[in-house]
Structure 1
Amino acid sequence: TNKEVSFEFAECASTTTDTVGILFIMSIDPCLKSTPYASIKEMSYFKEEEEILFSMHTVFRVVAIKPMDNENQLYQVNLQLTSDNDQQLRLLTDRIRGEAGGSGWQRLGSLLLQIGQFNKAEELYNVLLEQTSDQGENAIFYHQLGLVHSNRGDYERAIWYYEQGLTIHQKILPSDHPILATSYSNIGSVYDNLKEYSKAVSFYGKALKIHQKILPLNHPDFASSYNNIGLVYSKMGECSKALSFYEKSLEIYEKTLLSYHPLFATLYNNIGLVYGKMGEHSKALSSLEKSLEIDQKTLPSNHPDLATSYNNIGFVYRNMKDYSKALLYYERALDILKHPLPPTHPHIKITKGSIVIVKEKLLRIANI
């Protein structure tokens, strides 16, 4: 688009207090054949805008972000067109494709779950469930609907869907199949959230036994089993055992994953929570801030996992009696949770309760 026209749009957006104007400057190498683009100036209704149309799979690298005013309301973002042969891009997309799994609609559903679009994911999986008679596909869709309800906090419904999928998989798969381990882990996670820790340990243990049979010692799924068991020990107050399992997970992740992989965020978060329980607040904040940094790099700004990080950091500051900072992080968490989740979701209730407690503490201090 014509630079002057683009700047006018960006400048207009910057005049509103709750929006930010951004001028994108795109550098394009015409020799990159893998990214088609064309001028549509002659076909556009507004020819003076001099618009360029890029293909849908176009990816740009962010080179620089520069403020264009003193109010932090207007920015210039420099972008560099990448090619399909870009090594870093290929590593990232291969990792995303591997984690999403499947193809077509199944991959779309997995990606919707990863970016927190739970309602859209549910709609998709219900349609797919109605359209197939294949038992294997039915089991997958039941399992994914379990993930949807688990993320929403509807844990009883999540267990129902997980068990539907598990029953089918137990009939059609060998007893040590990795898909069964995934089902056991996810059911364990739900029982964990329901505070039924003995059931959680039982299902996590089933997943670990399968992993011990079929996986190399440094496989990331092995680390996930260690992490899950450590999480239960943490909630049972057995902090030393929890840290032991978390350290096993961290050792595997450091050998097998990229440094900004989301699994690191989960693990650092869990380690931070244990240190918090042990009263080692500086170590707790260090781990939780590492988790938050990864989440901020890899997740949308309104993703529920960011709210979890803010809540946990707020809790540490609350225990340190730094109530102003605690309130700041709790309110950031609530701002995120209010959008994708219903007001009855337990995470929203807990966060609101934390805000009330911290405000009461601040009020008492002010009245002293």
Structure 2
Amino acid sequence: MAFFMRALHQQLEQLHEKQSDQFNKKFTVYRGQGISQDDFQQLSHIKGGLLSFNNFLSTSTERHVAIGFLKESLRKSEQNVGVLFIMTIEPEKITRKNIPFASIEEYSAVKTENEILFSMHTVFRVQDLKQTTMNNRPFWEVQLTLTDDNDEQLANLTATMNKEIDGSRWYRMGQLLLRIGQFDKAEELYTALLEQTSNNSDKAGIYNQLGEVKYHQEQDTEAIAFYEISLEIQRKTLPEDHSSLSPIYSNIALAYNGMGDYSKALEFYEKSHKIQEKALPPNHPDLATSYNNIGLVYNNMGDYSKALQFYEKDLEITKKALPQNHPSLAASYNNIGQVYANMGDYSKALKFYEKSHQIFEEALPPNHPSLATSYNNIGLVYNNMGDYSKALEFYEKSDRIKEKALPPNHPDLAVSYNNIGGVYANMGDYSKALEYFKKTQKILVESLPANHSNLAYPYNWFGKVYRSMKDYPKALENFEKCLSIREKTLPENHPDRATTYSNIGDVHRLMGKYEKALEFHRKALNIQENVQCNPLQCATTYINLGETYRKMKDYSTALTYFQRGLEIREKKLPKKHPDLAVVYHNLSKLYLSSRQYNLSMKNIQQAIEIAQEKLSSTHPHFIEYKKTFEKNRKKM
């Protein structure tokens, strides 16, 4: 096969030379094809960037011919995204001879196609993407121009890739397979290379790459095992602070983070960071990435002050290293906004989300997926504030972009439908909420493998909606389906399993099955108290336990658990966070039940004070707090 490709390339070079007079003016060629949703998602992100075709590229000077191929491709697969590449070639700007093209009309089986064939690895610049329709089915026109040796970005990219994809030909092939998502083939190649080498340094590199393969296949435990073999080999010959160890530590941390084992993730990110701090100047972009990674783990753990500290260090370096309108700077602002949102400081969250959004608006086309994410984040803040009409407005802006830019069953659309469903659930419009959650489920079932953990999320939401509708048997049924998936796909001590146990316990409480409720809440605590995860999740379980004991009229035990939950929330959250109001309301109901009316009034007033500042007047929690206040007032 290699000989055939080399021969074909050489024939194209000869034809290109022979036809040089024929291609002395600017001309346009077309190629119609269907591409996968993931490939299109990547393509939509690189407007202004470079696109390489890794095989021989067949095109036509006739648009209708390319349209014919496009129609056929879409007919064969409803899942593909239709793309018509419109390629502008300016021969006078082309100085290189190693990427030839030629007319092969006289050799073609179909003479009327006017075929122009380009050699492998032809690189184009993506000028524009525009959606249009054909027989009521949308497709995309993508405007490309052929690059040449004078293209500075291409020269820099080539140099960078030569550095990043290093090693011998077969090692480089493995890294390339990883980059293009061919994980099974990459695994086969690395396994074969491992059997053939006796060099320990090569073995360490191959084990590390096998770890990457397993990570991308979502097999985190296996990934860590390979990374640790690589690390063990390297540490036999290298000092503990050698820069080669840093990326391995970072890879191990990433896998632990995916498993929800945040204490382990933090341990290995800090090892990586310690090496980088010694090896790199203080404003190096790799240090910014390292600070960002550590911030992400602290955010996942619910230690928001620590997360903010590291995200701000990342931002400080990123602002110095990048232009003011660079999308990576927008990502840094976005991360800080997310932490403030988690802390319940919604005005600051909006401030940083809007900074991020402003950069995206300046740097990206109006239908870019990153803008959709930005609208989504702003919508999330309004949702947490209880301003559901505003939340819906921004979620729908996000959704409109995604529906135009993405295929109808893309996973990002599932996220969008899920968020809109969540708003309708909060507004009490449960039929609308279920409609959107069912859309979410349909996409996830179509786009994810049968053993993917994300398939649990729709059942989790169905459970919450049916619980709010007081249809407790259906709520329980869906939470149990959620648990079944998570027990099969997540580690035994994963925080999401604990959350599901707690949800099931809560439904049992509402059904009056208090012993069952206690059983599941204790299962949740068994994970949350013994694994370093987000303590705020543990606080929620304490509060659920407190509410269960309150219903059992065991007021002293109920008080103990409410105070434990309150202590964590007061330590981790700002003084006026809405989640604190929830606990004050629970305490008020407890004191009301035990006829301690002064303490009950004190707590409900604290809840109402927070709600007045943080929630809209129509928020369900605010309405409930006012009802409890009235009950207290009548008793006093």
2-structure distance, mates of 1:239, 1:250: 16
Structure 2 counterparts to residues 123-202 of structure 1, below 5 A: 123-202=188-267
Deviation digits for residues 33-83 of structure 1 (CA, Å, limit 9, x no counterpart): 323111111111112212111111211223334455473535543321111
2-structure distance, mates of 1:132, 1:260: 47
Structure 1 counterpart of 2:370: 293
| Structure 2 CA distance for partners of 1:100 and 1:195, relative to 1, 3 Å | same
Q: Pick from 101, 110, 119: which aligns with 1:55?
A: 119
Cα pair 1:330 1:351 within 8 Å, conserved: no
Q: Pick from 90, 107, 110: which aligns with 1:29?
A: 90
2-structure distance, mates of 1:287, 1:314: 25
Structure 2 counterpart of 1:246: 311
Deviation digits for residues 199-229 of structure 1 (CA, Å, limit 9, x no counterpart): 3222222112111111111222212221222
Moved more, 271-280 or 146-155: 271-280
| Structure 2 CA distance for partners of 1:251 and 1:69, relative to 1, 3 Å | same
Q: Which runs of 5+ in 2 are unaligned?
A: 1-59, 361-367, 374-405, 428-432, 472-636
Q: Pick from 56, 59, 67: which aligns with 1:7?
A: 67
Q: Pick from 444, 452, 460: which aligns with 1:345?
A: 452
Deviation digits for residues 276-298 of structure 1 (CA, Å, limit 9, x no counterpart): 422437468668976952999xx
Deviation digits for residues 172-206 of structure 1 (CA, Å, limit 9, x no counterpart): 22222212111112222223333333332222221
Identity percentage over the alignment?
Answer: 42
Moved more, 14-23 or 185-194: 14-23
Counterpart secondary structure, 2:108? coil
Shift of 1:255: 3.6
| Structure 2 CA distance for partners of 1:308 and 1:151, relative to 1, 3 Å | farther
2-structure distance, mates of 1:17, 1:312: 22
Moved more, 193-202 or 204-213: 193-202
Deviation digits for residues 211-249 of structure 1 (CA, Å, limit 9, x no counterpart): 111111122221222122212211221112202211211
| Structure 2 CA distance for partners of 1:7 and 1:194, relative to 1, 3 Å | closer
Counterpart secondary structure, 1:83? coil
2-structure distance, mates of 1:272, 1:124: 42
Cα pair 1:11 1:74 within 8 Å, conserved: no
Structure 2 counterparts to residues 1-368 of structure 1, below 5 A: 1-3=60-62, 4-10=64-70, 21-31=82-92, 32-34=94-96, 35-66=99-130, 69=133, 71=136, 73-102=138-167, 104-256=169-321, 270-271=335-336, 273-279=338-344, 280=346, 282=350, 293=370, 311=415, 314=418, 318=422, 321=426, 323=433, 327=437, 330=440, 334=444, 338=448, 342-346=449-453, 348-354=454-460, 356-357=462-463, 360=466
1-structure distance, mates of 2:323, 2:442: 28
1-structure distance, mates of 2:283, 2:446: 35
Counterpart secondary structure, 2:91? coil
2-structure distance, mates of 1:216, 1:126: 37
1-structure distance, mates of 2:337, 2:420: 9
| Structure 2 CA distance for partners of 1:333 and 1:93, relative to 1, 3 Å | farther
Q: Which runs of 5+ in 1 are unaligned?
A: none
| Structure 2 CA distance for partners of 1:13 and 1:343, relative to 1, 3 Å | closer
Counterpart secondary structure, 1:224? helix
Counterpart secondary structure, 2:283? coil
Cα pair 1:262 1:294 within 8 Å, conserved: no
2-structure distance, mates of 1:163, 1:265: 34
Moved more, 251-260 or 313-322: 313-322
Cα pair 2:125 2:147 within 8 Å, conserved: yes
1-structure distance, mates of 2:462, 2:439: 13
| Structure 2 CA distance for partners of 1:135 and 1:177, relative to 1, 3 Å | same
Counterpart secondary structure, 1:45? coil
1-structure distance, mates of 2:352, 2:422: 13
2-structure distance, mates of 1:112, 1:360: 45
AA partner of residue 262 (structure 2)? Y
2-structure distance, mates of 1:97, 1:196: 35
Moved more, 73-82 or 167-176: 73-82
Shift of 1:144: 1.5
Cα pair 1:331 1:355 within 8 Å, conserved: no
Shift of 1:168: 0.4
Cα pair 1:143 1:183 within 8 Å, conserved: yes
1-structure distance, mates of 2:162, 2:439: 33
Counterpart secondary structure, 2:316? helix
Q: TM-score, normalised by structure 2?
A: 0.47
Deviation digits for residues 82-106 of structure 1 (CA, Å, limit 9, x no counterpart): 1132123334444455444545333
Cα pair 2:444 2:455 within 8 Å, conserved: no
Aligned residues: 354
| Structure 2 CA distance for partners of 1:47 and 1:335, relative to 1, 3 Å | farther
| Structure 2 CA distance for partners of 1:12 and 1:137, relative to 1, 3 Å | closer
| Structure 2 CA distance for partners of 1:266 and 1:149, relative to 1, 3 Å | farther
| Structure 2 CA distance for partners of 1:242 and 1:54, relative to 1, 3 Å | same
Shift of 1:109: 2.8
